[in-house]
Structures are given as C-alpha cells and as structure tokens.
Amino acid sequence: MAVAKKSAKAPALQPRNEGIDWRSLYLYAVCLITLLVVLFSTVSLINAIINSVFPDPAYIDPYAKPENAPSPALLDQQERNNQIQAVKNIFTSFTTIAVAAPLYIYHWRQTKK
C-alpha cells in the first residue's frame, strides 16, 4: 500500500515586531497636533469674521461723570480700532490654517505608505 504524501507547506510565520513603531507614532502625533491647530484656527477665523462684521462697541464707563465722558469721535475711533483688530485676526487665523493644513495632509499621506 502506498501512502500519498501531501505537499502542502506550512504557512511561513512572520516575525512579530515587539518594539514601538516610532515612525507611525510620530506621524499620527503630528497629524493630531496639526488637525487641532486647524480646528482651533478655523473657530478663531469664524469668530474674527463675525467681529469684523459686528465690531464690539466702544466701552463707556457707567460710573464716569458726564464731564469726563469720552467724545463721540473717540468712541467711533475705538470701534474702528476694534474692527481693524478683527481683520488682523482674520489674516492671522487664515495664515495659521494655510501653514498647518498642508503639514497635516503631508503627514497623513505618509501614514498611508
């Protein structure tokens, strides 16, 4: 009686890497940080746009004596300054997003390799 031998090979065991994958850890950490920066900058951008459309009114001290009250021209100037500051904040937020978003995209693509 002849016994047929099976020629099936045992699957090759791949060695397990027990260490930390520092590259992946770095890439995911950078992605998390840049994503948070983009998120907070977007919120700041929206807030700055709202402040530029509806600037904060000038502050009037309710306890000031009438003779020490600021002039209407000074109040208008303060409101314009608030609006100018809001426009500066728009550019700051937009610049932050413009820097952080490509960094996020680059590092996220690196995690897929």
How high is the pLDDT of residue 34?
Answer: 97
Q: What is the mean pLDDT of the chain?
A: 86
Measured CA to CA, the distance from residue 89 to residue 39 in angstroms comes to 15
pLDDT band for position 68 (cuts 50, 70, 90): confident
Mean pLDDT of 52-72: 81
How high is the pLDDT of residue 40?
Answer: 98
Cα dihedral value 90, 95, 101, 104, nearest 10: -130
Domain ranges of the chain: 22-56+71-111
How high is the pLDDT of residue 104?
Answer: 96
pLDDT digits (tens, 9 = 90+) for 5-36: 555 565 666 666 677 899 999 999 999 999 99
Measured CA to CA, the distance from residue 80 to residue 92 in angstroms comes to 19
pLDDT digits (tens, 9 = 90+) for 80-103: 998 999 999 999 999 999 999 999
How high is the pLDDT of residue 71?
Answer: 83
| Residue owning tokens 């994958």 | 21
